[in-house]
Amino acid sequence: MDMQAMLFQFVGGLGIFLFGISLMGDGLKLTAGDSLRELLQRFTSTPFKAVLTGVVVTSLIQSSSGTTVLAVGLVSSGFMTLQQAIGVVMGANIGTTVTSFIIGINLGQYALPIIGAGSILMFFFKNPQIKHIGQVIIGFGMLFYGLELMGTGMEPLQEVQAFHDLMARLSTNPVLGVGVGTVLTMVMQSSSATIGILQQLYAQGSITLGGLLPVLFGNNIGTTITALLATVGANVAARQTAGAHVFFNVMGTIFSIILLHPFTLIITYATDSLGLAPAMQIAFAHGLFNILNVIILFWFIPQIARLMEKLMPDKQVEEEAPTHLDVQVLRNAGPTLALHQAHKALIQLALIVQEQFDLAALYYHEKDEKYVKQIHILENEINQKDIHLTDYLGLISEYELGQSDTEVLSAMINTSKYLERIGDHTTQITDNLTEAVHIEKHRIEEGKANTDGRKMQWGDSKLERMFLLAQENVAGIVHLIDLGDRSVVSDILEREAEIDALQEKLRTRYINLIRSGKSCPTDNILFIDIVASLERIGDHTRKLVTNHLNFLYHYSPQDIIEESELSVTPKVDQPAN
């Protein structure tokens, strides 16, 4: 027996098998596009739906660890509750059995033609969807080719006495079998690879069913390591999700070890009744094990969630909403979910901009300088959030994005800049108002406040109307970005047109006052600047509407949004002053 050839063939086969699963999963994700995200966000409202969603998503991406990492990312960024995530994780355990059933179909002799067919689709067609399907087919063929190589490499093990002794010990020591399955899966980072190896060994007669099942159970514990690694640097909610994943799989393994003998009898009976081949017998055992675990523990999802919250309490009391920009979600769950995070941060930024402008409007009406400090604090916060959001979107842009996500990314960058510009103009208005207040105070001290040409232009009905219209537009933009309610669009654009008209009238009025000598030039220049800033804020709300309607409505949580009767030109404005 050539040990080197055996080792090389096994390791090479394992590598091809793992690469095939990865290639097939990536191709399925690209083919499915945003539907995975929609499944996880829309169809997890009840525990049962969450379990079904976990089954479907894992069947699509061929990785229970991948689904669990997605759930961890969604919980981390606030898109999913802990109880919903636990349901998804349970479903992922069932969904991962699809791979073992696929492996149970003996297609090894057709592996190379399958790879060839996939290569034609991937390399000779320009349509992205066809290329992605070709990638799935190549991965499918590589999976079976890798299994063939592994099986051929492991055949000589039947002649090794030490291997026979280890298999015999596994048959009499279930705890050892659980440990072997756990470690093997942790090392390979793939439960499907462990299942594939067990199917090959069992088909060759190298291991008994009694020795194999504990290894199969331990495989479920080993697969939790990926989710645990995904929580490094993440928040408490993400760690609670990973902890629930570990708890669920460990408890399921304990139940199965206790009931190992009757479970073995059920598998043997099913095999005899259904005439299952050895590899399909293991797939059946894997599927039944996970389905029974879900049936038993499904009813305790709320209790498991509360246990995780007690074991890992969130001691941090935040007075403000979180920033939602977690790089771990981008790295582990991918750019599409990271864009969801960015959208939440965008909502947060819009709310701060609204708060700042509301304070500036109060400052105009009350002329109380107590608002000035808070307005400038909010301006700094807006600038910082804009920088962080832009940097985060820059990181997302480094990943491979679909056409839709690319457009959304560009639109989000523009939206952030438009909001930041509104903050800048609000600060400019505040500074102009402060200067006007100081001038008026100085004149009052000198007794010249109400003399000819020295009266400050407060209380102008047109200017008050401009403040009100701009304030309503900023509030409308927040509503549009937050809820995606496009029914506000026509009102925003109508108000913006009125702001433009008022700006022209007020500018003309202030210039005429200067020319006639009825008002101090310095005063009117300040108010001309205020009016100009309000007009620019109106312009940016129009640009935000156009920007949002074309691309960002993809991220609206509403299923049905009343369409605006107003048509908006399909273009994205570039950020301006």
Q: Is 414 buried (19+), middle (13-18) or exposed (0-12) by CB count in 10 A? A: buried
Secondary structure of residue 169 in the 3-state scheme: helix
Q: Is 282 buried (19+), middle (13-18) or exposed (0-12) by CB count in 10 A? A: buried
pLDDT exceeds 70 at position 216: yes
Secondary structure of residue 246 in the 3-state scheme: helix
Percent of the chain with pLDDT over 90: 18
- Largest pairwise CA distance in the chain: 112
Across the strands, what pairs with 453? 519
Tokens read off for 92? 């992922």
pLDDT score at 424: 94
Higher-pLDDT residue of 155, 374: 374
93 — pLDDT class (breaks 50, 70, 90): confident
pLDDT score at 354: 94
Class of domain 327-555: mainly alpha
DSSP assigned state of 575:
P
pLDDT score at 561: 32
pLDDT score at 565: 36
Beta strand residue intervals within 28-84, DSSP E:
none
Of 136-145, 403-412, 529-538, 553-562, least confident by mean pLDDT is 553-562
Higher-pLDDT residue of 187, 367: 367
Average pLDDT of the chain is: 79
Percent of the chain with pLDDT over 70: 78
444-474 pLDDT tens trace: 766 665 545 445 567 778 888 999 999 999 9
Q: Which residues contact 390 (CB under 8 A, 6 or more apart)?
A: 413, 416, 417
How many angstroms separate the CA atoms of 16 and 112, rounded?
A: 12
Q: Which residues contact 99 (CB under 8 A, 6 or more apart)?
A: 21, 62, 192, 195
Q: What is the DSSP string of 336-383?
A: HHHHHHHHHHHHHHHHHHHHHHHHHHHHHHH--THHHHHHHHHHHHHH
Placement of tokens 């702001």 in the chain? 499
Helical pair 236-258 and 260-274, crossing angle rounded to 10 deg: 80
Helical pair 191-203 and 278-297, crossing angle rounded to 10 deg: 140
Q: Which residues contact 143 (CB under 8 A, 6 or more apart)?
A: 17, 20, 21, 24, 102, 103
Placement of tokens 């999802």 in the chain? 301
pLDDT exceeds 50 at position 333: yes
Which residue ranges make up each domain of the chain? 3-311, 327-555
How many angstroms separate the CA atoms of 228 and 182, rounded?
A: 14
CA 250: distance to chain centroid?
27
Amino acid at 398: E
Secondary structure of residue 453 in the 3-state scheme: strand
pLDDT exceeds 80 at position 233: no
317 — pLDDT class (breaks 50, 70, 90): very low
360 — pLDDT class (breaks 50, 70, 90): very high
CA 305: distance to chain centroid?
21
Higher-pLDDT residue of 165, 48: 48
558 — pLDDT class (breaks 50, 70, 90): very low
pLDDT exceeds 70 at position 30: no
pLDDT score at 376: 93
Higher-pLDDT residue of 143, 283: 283
DSSP assigned state of 576:
-
Compute and round to an integer the Cα radius of gyration of the chain: 32
pLDDT exceeds 60 at position 83: yes
Average confidence (pLDDT) over 71-100:
79
The residue among 148, 133, 212, 144 whose CA lies nearest residue 177 is 212
Tokens read off for 254? 């304990």
Q: Are 281 and 269 in contact (CB under 8 A)?
A: no
Q: Are 508 and 572 in contact (CB under 8 A)?
A: no
How many angstroms separate the CA atoms of 302 and 272, rounded?
A: 39
Q: What is the DSSP string of 505-544?
A: HHHHHHHHHHHHTSB-HHHHHHHHHHHHHHHHHHHHHHHH
374-428 pLDDT tens trace: 999 999 999 999 999 999 999 888 887 777 778 888 889 999 999 999 999 999 9
Average confidence (pLDDT) over 204-225:
84
pLDDT score at 320: 42
How many angstroms separate the CA atoms of 254 and 182, rounded?
A: 13
pLDDT exceeds 70 at position 517: no
The residue among 192, 198, 212, 220 whose CA lies nearest residue 264 is 212
Where residue 460 falls (left for φ over 0; alpha for ψ -120 to 50; beta otherwise) is: beta
CA 450: distance to chain centroid?
60
How many angstroms separate the CA atoms of 340 and 165, rounded?
A: 53
Most confident of 24-33, 96-105, 524-533: 524-533
Distances (CA, A) of 291 to 46, 54, 295, 296, 462: 18, 13, 6, 9, 69
Beta strand residue intervals within 19-158, DSSP E:
none
Higher-pLDDT residue of 469, 320: 469
pTM score: 0.64
Residues 17-55 as b/e (b if ≥16 CB within 10 A, e otherwise) read: bbebbbbbbbbbbbbbbeebbebbbebbeebebbbbbbb
41-63 pLDDT tens trace: 666 667 788 888 888 877 776 66
Average confidence (pLDDT) over 57-72:
71
Long-range contacts, 298-307 (Cβ 8 Å, 24+) = 298/47, 298/48, 298/51, 298/87, 298/90, 301/47, 301/83, 301/86, 301/87, 301/90, 302/83, 304/86, 304/244, 304/247, 304/248, 305/82, 305/83, 305/86, 305/240, 305/244, 307/247
Higher-pLDDT residue of 508, 148: 508
Most confident of 177-186, 222-231, 312-321: 177-186
Q: Are 357 and 427 in contact (CB under 8 A)?
A: no
